[in-house]
């Protein structure tokens, strides 16, 4: 019984996404998130994209400042969604970052590079954090099932192939 349950856990963990890098950088525009993920799409997700179903991947970042006298202060809560789709007529993959960038790619692997290594996006303005304070940063990325077409949402709830996400990566950041 124990061997069966450990095998199931290992198989589930292999289907998830691993975060290989995450850090906050200061720039003239504000605070930017630099992150990298390592994962492969399973056969079910590849088939869905190749049949014209767009997939949405959302990266979430939360910065909180611990306080001894009250609940932790939620300083920043930001998300970025990237849509990957396939056009059957042109035989090209399209990746679009909500509200800004859209690119076309010849292969699915090239399009997925935008999700695996997203651009350094501004998560907060320069004055959003108190300089010198230490903040707890939590970052994760996953397939956003809520943005799928309704028939696929029902299927995704019952099918483990549609569950792709990383664990929360938590680290400390001293505001500059």
* pLDDT exceeds cutoff 60 at 59: yes
Cβ atoms within 10 Å of 76's Cβ, excluding its own: 20
* pLDDT exceeds cutoff 60 at 175: yes
Distance CA 140, CA 29 (A): 23
Give the pLDDT band (50/70/90) at residue 140: very high
Q: Is residue 26 part of a domain?
A: yes
Q: Is residue 142 part of a domain?
A: yes
Q: Is residue 127 part of a domain?
A: yes
Give the pLDDT band (50/70/90) at residue 3: very low
The pTM (predicted TM-score) of the whole model is 0.82
- pLDDT tens by residue, 72-88: 888 889 999 999 999 98
In 3D space, the residue among 19, 14, 13, 12 whose CA is nearest the CA of residue 139 turns out to be: 19
Q: Is residue 5 part of a domain?
A: no
Largest Cα span, the chain: 60
**Structural contact between residues 134 and 173, judged by C-beta atoms closer than 8 angstroms:** yes
In this predicted model, which residue has the larger pLDDT, 53 or 3? 53
- pLDDT tens by residue, 88-123: 899 999 999 877 778 999 999 999 998 898 888 899
pLDDT at 69: 82
Structural domain span for residue 130? 17-174
For 77, 94, 167, the CA distances from 139, given in Å and listed in that order, are 10, 25, 8
Q: Is residue 100 part of a domain?
A: yes
Q: Is residue 1 part of a domain?
A: no
Q: Is residue 123 part of a domain?
A: yes
Give me the number of domains the chain comprises: 1
- pLDDT tens by residue, 8-53: 233 333 357 888 899 999 989 899 999 999 999 988 899 989 988 9
Q: Is residue 99 part of a domain?
A: yes
């Amino acid at each position: 019984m124990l061997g069966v349950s450990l095998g199931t856990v290992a198989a589930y963990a292999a289907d998830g996404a691993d975060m290989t890098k995450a850090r906050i950088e200061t720039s003239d525009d504000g605070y930017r998130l630099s992150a990298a993920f390592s994962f492969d799409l399973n056969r079910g997700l590849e088939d869905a994209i190749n049949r014209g179903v767009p997939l949405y991947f959302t990266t979430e970042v939360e910065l909180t400042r611990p306080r001894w006298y009250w609940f932790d202060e939620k300083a920043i809560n930001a998300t970025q969604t990237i849509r990957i789709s396939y056009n059957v007529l042109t035989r090209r993959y399209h990746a679009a970052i909500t509200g800004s960038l859209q690119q076309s790619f010849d292969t699915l692997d090239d399009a997925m590079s935008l999700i695996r290594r997203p651009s350094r996006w501004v998560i907060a303005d320069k004055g959003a954090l108190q300089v010198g304070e230490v903040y707890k940063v939590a970052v994760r990325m996953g397939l956003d099932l809520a943005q799928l077409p309704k028939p696929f949402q029902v299927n995704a709830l019952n099918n483990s192939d549609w569950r792709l996400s990383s664990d929360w990566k938590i680290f400390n950041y001293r505001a500059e």
